[in-house]
Structure 1
Amino acid sequence: MRIPPLGFRLLYRLRKAYWRIVKPTTHGVQALIIHPVDSDRVLLVRHSYGDKFRWRLPGGGYKPARETPEQAARRECVEELGVELAPLALVLEEHRTTSGGRSGYLTIVRLHALSDEVSPNGEIAEARWTAVDLTDLPGDPVVSTWVHSALTAHALAR
């Protein structure tokens, strides 16, 4: 069953209210996905909820008792983008975060795509392969701080 973009926007608002009340510790993961042929291209997304104009890395939340950050990154990318990924994953960065009434942990994982084909679900408004210097994003793009951080860590890990 596909959830329409409106459903994701409603769930996003409910989750923000929950965080303000309960203040849980969260665990999130974001994936820097490298193009299968051109290692100077990465996959960025715009979500259909929240800040819909900001380019981000794909990812989401996970429960450490159930899966590793690498497993969570792979699961999120398959769910959100239907992208085929190589088995190797590398943790690029780990951060302690505070935002929107919650505190948590964010892990950024590098994965390599096996194909440049993507099939975004309703959570994703747009997915785009872009140069690591971000110069081919359309217009005057707004890009997440985590994208810049991941690209810097990726350059250092090469």
Structure 2
Amino acid sequence: MRFVRLPAPVLRVISPVMRWWWRIRRPTTFGVKALLLHPDEPTRFLVVRHSYADTRRWGLPGGGFRPERETPQQAAAREVGEELGIAIPSSSFTVLDTVATALEAKRDTLTILIATAPARSVTCSPELAEARWISNLDELGEAPVSRWLLLSLRRAGMASGPV
């Protein structure tokens, strides 16, 4: 399946429209988030800022998928490839957690996975404003952080405290 890469300005316009549509329709969706570990320093991990919606918030790469077409591992590999230009085999991804959420007015099942990146270099797609390898969240200063990033770090044993 081939996906069309939309420019960041188009994504910023579409994002609020989609959120509005989700509030009306309340669809059931499936998504993945990928915690990527640095290939040489496993205490470092990759964080991203998206170019649409909350552009200040740091989070994890990922996106939606259809379970009848691919597994969460396949979806994570696809999303990492699309967003970061990193080729990671789907068999390299391990599930950290699966959560049900009603954020953004959707009934969403989100699978959080972890894998080690094969290289440290990334190429951000238009969906991403920035990507950084960090060893702790303090490196982000006062910037907001995604709840899924916090949960993934806790599940991976890289952070402490309640979710």
TM-score with structure 1 setting the length: 0.92
Q: Is the 8 A contact 2:77 2:87 kept in 1?
A: no
Shift of 1:36: 0.5
Q: How does 1:1-158 map to 2 (within 5 A)?
A: 2-85=5-88, 87-131=91-135, 133-137=136-140, 139-155=141-157
1:25 maps to a residue whose letter is T
For structure 1, which segment, 10-19 or 38-47, has the greater mean C-alpha deviation from structure 2 after superposition? 10-19
What are the superposed Cα offsets for residues 28-76 of structure 1, whole Å, 9 maximum, x if unpaired? 1000001110000111100011110000010000000000011101100
Return the structure number with greater strand share.
Answer: 1
Unaligned runs of 5+ in 2: 159-163
- Distance in 2 (CA, whole Å) between partners of 1:112 and 1:11 is 32
Letter in 2 for 1:22: R
TM-score (norm 2): 0.89
1:110 alignment partner, SS class: strand
Question: How far, CA to CA, are the matches of 1:85 and 1:155 in structure 2?
Answer: 22
Partners of 1:142 and 1:73 in 2: how far apart? 23
1:21 is paired with a residue whose SS is: helix
Q: Give, in angstroms, the shift of residue 135 of structure 1.
A: 2.3
Give the unaligned 5+ runs of structure 1.
none
Q: Distance in 1 between matches of 2:72 and 2:5?
A: 25
- Alignment partners' CA distance in 2, 1:2 and 1:108: 23
In structure 2, C-alpha distance between the alignment counterparts of 1:99 and 1:90, rounded to whole Å: 24
Q: Indicate the SS of the match to 1:100.
A: helix
The whole-number CA distance in structure 2 between the counterparts of 1:65 and 1:145 is 27
